[in-house]
Amino acid sequence: MSAHDEHSSFIKTPQQLIVVVLLSFLVPIIGIVLLVQLVLNRPSADPAALEPQAVAQRIQPVGRVEFGAAGAGAASGARSGEEIVNAACGACHVAGVANAPKIGDPAAWAPRVKTGLPAMLAIAIKGKGAMPPRGGLPDVSDTELARAIVHMANKSGANLKEPAAPAAKK
Protein backbone atom coordinates (compact mmCIF):
# COMPACT_ATOMS: atom_id res chain seq x y z
CA MET A 1 0.00 0.00 0.00
CA SER A 2 1.43 3.34 -0.97
CA ALA A 3 1.45 5.93 1.82
CA HIS A 4 1.46 8.79 -0.65
CA ASP A 5 -1.15 8.48 -3.37
CA GLU A 6 -1.03 11.47 -5.72
CA HIS A 7 -4.37 10.57 -7.24
CA SER A 8 -6.32 10.51 -4.03
CA SER A 9 -9.39 12.79 -4.22
CA PHE A 10 -10.87 14.86 -1.45
CA ILE A 11 -14.20 13.31 -2.41
CA LYS A 12 -14.39 10.25 -0.25
CA THR A 13 -18.08 9.57 0.16
CA PRO A 14 -21.17 9.64 -2.09
CA GLN A 15 -22.57 12.57 -0.06
CA GLN A 16 -19.50 14.63 -0.86
CA LEU A 17 -19.90 13.77 -4.52
CA ILE A 18 -23.49 14.98 -4.52
CA VAL A 19 -22.50 18.28 -2.83
CA VAL A 20 -19.73 18.90 -5.34
CA VAL A 21 -21.99 18.14 -8.31
CA LEU A 22 -24.72 20.45 -6.97
CA LEU A 23 -22.24 23.27 -6.32
CA SER A 24 -20.77 22.96 -9.79
CA PHE A 25 -24.21 23.76 -11.15
CA LEU A 26 -25.30 26.35 -8.60
CA VAL A 27 -22.20 28.54 -8.50
CA PRO A 28 -22.22 29.46 -12.22
CA ILE A 29 -26.01 29.96 -12.16
CA ILE A 30 -25.80 32.37 -9.21
CA GLY A 31 -22.98 34.18 -10.98
CA ILE A 32 -25.07 34.56 -14.14
CA VAL A 33 -28.08 35.81 -12.16
CA LEU A 34 -25.95 38.46 -10.43
CA LEU A 35 -24.41 39.54 -13.75
CA VAL A 36 -27.84 39.87 -15.38
CA GLN A 37 -29.05 41.95 -12.45
CA LEU A 38 -26.01 44.19 -12.69
CA VAL A 39 -26.65 44.84 -16.39
CA LEU A 40 -30.40 45.38 -16.06
CA ASN A 41 -30.10 47.76 -13.10
CA ARG A 42 -27.52 50.03 -14.71
CA PRO A 43 -29.26 53.37 -13.95
CA SER A 44 -29.57 52.50 -10.30
CA ALA A 45 -30.07 56.15 -9.17
CA ASP A 46 -33.44 57.85 -9.56
CA PRO A 47 -33.42 59.12 -13.17
CA ALA A 48 -35.44 62.19 -12.12
CA ALA A 49 -32.56 63.20 -9.86
CA LEU A 50 -30.39 63.81 -12.93
CA GLU A 51 -32.79 66.29 -14.54
CA PRO A 52 -31.04 69.68 -14.96
CA GLN A 53 -33.68 71.30 -12.75
CA ALA A 54 -33.15 68.82 -9.96
CA VAL A 55 -29.38 69.23 -10.22
CA ALA A 56 -29.65 73.02 -10.17
CA GLN A 57 -31.84 72.83 -7.09
CA ARG A 58 -29.36 70.58 -5.30
CA ILE A 59 -26.33 72.73 -6.01
CA GLN A 60 -27.98 76.12 -5.47
CA PRO A 61 -26.11 78.45 -3.12
CA VAL A 62 -27.23 78.65 0.49
CA GLY A 63 -27.95 82.37 0.43
CA ARG A 64 -28.54 84.92 -2.25
CA VAL A 65 -28.36 88.69 -2.48
CA GLU A 66 -31.24 90.58 -3.97
CA PHE A 67 -30.85 94.16 -5.09
CA GLY A 68 -33.63 96.68 -5.18
CA ALA A 69 -36.05 94.45 -3.28
CA ALA A 70 -36.27 96.63 -0.19
CA GLY A 71 -39.52 98.26 -1.21
CA ALA A 72 -40.60 101.01 -3.57
CA GLY A 73 -38.29 103.55 -1.93
CA ALA A 74 -35.13 101.66 -2.84
CA ALA A 75 -36.29 101.13 -6.40
CA SER A 76 -37.06 104.80 -6.99
CA GLY A 77 -33.55 105.89 -5.99
CA ALA A 78 -32.98 108.32 -3.16
CA ARG A 79 -35.41 108.20 -0.27
CA SER A 80 -36.11 111.29 1.78
CA GLY A 81 -34.41 111.82 5.11
CA GLU A 82 -37.73 111.39 6.88
CA GLU A 83 -38.31 108.01 5.23
CA ILE A 84 -34.90 106.78 6.31
CA VAL A 85 -35.40 108.06 9.85
CA ASN A 86 -38.79 106.37 10.09
CA ALA A 87 -37.40 103.16 8.62
CA ALA A 88 -34.32 102.83 10.80
CA CYS A 89 -32.72 105.71 12.64
CA GLY A 90 -35.83 106.50 14.67
CA ALA A 91 -35.61 103.16 16.44
CA CYS A 92 -32.77 104.62 18.51
CA HIS A 93 -32.83 108.34 17.90
CA VAL A 94 -36.48 108.98 18.82
CA ALA A 95 -36.13 107.76 22.38
CA GLY A 96 -32.37 108.25 22.69
CA VAL A 97 -31.66 104.56 23.04
CA ALA A 98 -28.12 103.77 24.26
CA ASN A 99 -27.31 107.48 24.49
CA ALA A 100 -28.13 108.17 20.87
CA PRO A 101 -28.62 111.92 20.31
CA LYS A 102 -32.36 112.26 20.67
CA ILE A 103 -34.43 113.89 17.95
CA GLY A 104 -35.66 117.20 19.36
CA ASP A 105 -32.83 117.51 21.87
CA PRO A 106 -30.68 120.49 20.75
CA ALA A 107 -28.21 119.93 23.59
CA ALA A 108 -27.43 116.46 22.27
CA TRP A 109 -27.13 117.53 18.65
CA ALA A 110 -25.46 120.96 18.88
CA PRO A 111 -21.91 119.75 19.57
CA ARG A 112 -22.23 117.20 16.79
CA VAL A 113 -23.75 119.65 14.32
CA LYS A 114 -20.81 121.96 15.05
CA THR A 115 -18.43 119.34 13.63
CA GLY A 116 -20.25 119.64 10.31
CA LEU A 117 -22.35 117.35 8.20
CA PRO A 118 -19.40 115.59 6.49
CA ALA A 119 -18.00 114.62 9.89
CA MET A 120 -21.38 113.37 11.14
CA LEU A 121 -21.91 111.53 7.86
CA ALA A 122 -18.52 109.85 8.15
CA ILE A 123 -19.43 108.64 11.64
CA ALA A 124 -22.87 107.49 10.51
CA ILE A 125 -21.30 105.53 7.63
CA LYS A 126 -18.81 103.81 9.88
CA GLY A 127 -20.93 103.51 12.98
CA LYS A 128 -19.92 104.52 16.48
CA GLY A 129 -20.46 102.84 19.82
CA ALA A 130 -23.94 101.31 19.85
CA MET A 131 -24.70 102.89 16.49
CA PRO A 132 -24.35 100.30 13.68
CA PRO A 133 -22.73 101.30 10.35
CA ARG A 134 -25.27 103.19 8.24
CA GLY A 135 -27.74 102.92 11.09
CA GLY A 136 -28.14 99.21 10.29
CA LEU A 137 -29.35 99.87 6.73
CA PRO A 138 -26.60 98.47 4.49
CA ASP A 139 -28.44 99.55 1.32
CA VAL A 140 -28.83 103.20 2.29
CA SER A 141 -26.83 105.58 0.05
CA ASP A 142 -24.54 108.29 1.38
CA THR A 143 -26.98 110.93 0.17
CA GLU A 144 -29.92 109.26 1.88
CA LEU A 145 -27.88 108.92 5.02
CA ALA A 146 -26.93 112.61 4.91
CA ARG A 147 -30.58 113.59 4.41
CA ALA A 148 -31.58 111.50 7.41
CA ILE A 149 -28.93 113.23 9.53
CA VAL A 150 -30.09 116.65 8.33
CA HIS A 151 -33.68 115.70 9.06
CA MET A 152 -32.88 114.65 12.62
CA ALA A 153 -30.51 117.56 13.29
CA ASN A 154 -32.94 120.17 11.95
CA LYS A 155 -35.65 118.77 14.19
CA SER A 156 -33.22 119.32 17.04
CA GLY A 157 -32.47 122.99 16.65
CA ALA A 158 -29.96 122.88 13.79
CA ASN A 159 -30.38 124.58 10.45
CA LEU A 160 -28.55 122.38 7.96
CA LYS A 161 -29.18 122.33 4.25
CA GLU A 162 -30.48 119.10 2.81
CA PRO A 163 -27.93 117.72 0.35
CA ALA A 164 -28.91 117.42 -3.29
CA ALA A 165 -28.87 114.07 -5.00
CA PRO A 166 -25.21 113.25 -5.71
CA ALA A 167 -23.71 115.63 -3.14
CA ALA A 168 -22.44 115.04 0.40
CA LYS A 169 -19.93 112.43 -0.65
CA LYS A 170 -16.89 113.86 1.10
Rg (CA), the chain: 40
Select the residue interacting with ligand HEC from 78, 88, 103, 160 (CB under 6 A). 88
Residue 117 interacts with ligand HEC (CB under 6 A): yes or no: no
The contact mask relative to ligand HEC for 48-87 (x = CB under 6 A, - = no) is ------------------------------------x---
Compute the least distance from the CB of residue 76 to ligand HEC, in Å: 18
With contacts defined by CB under 6 A, how many residues of the chain interact with ligand HEC? 29
Sole window of 14-22, 65-73, 98-106, 159-167 interacting with ligand HEC (rule: CB under 6 A)? 98-106
Give the footprint of ligand HEC on this chain (CB under 6 A): 84, 88-89, 91-93, 97-101, 112, 115, 120, 123-124, 128-132, 134-137, 140, 145, 148-149
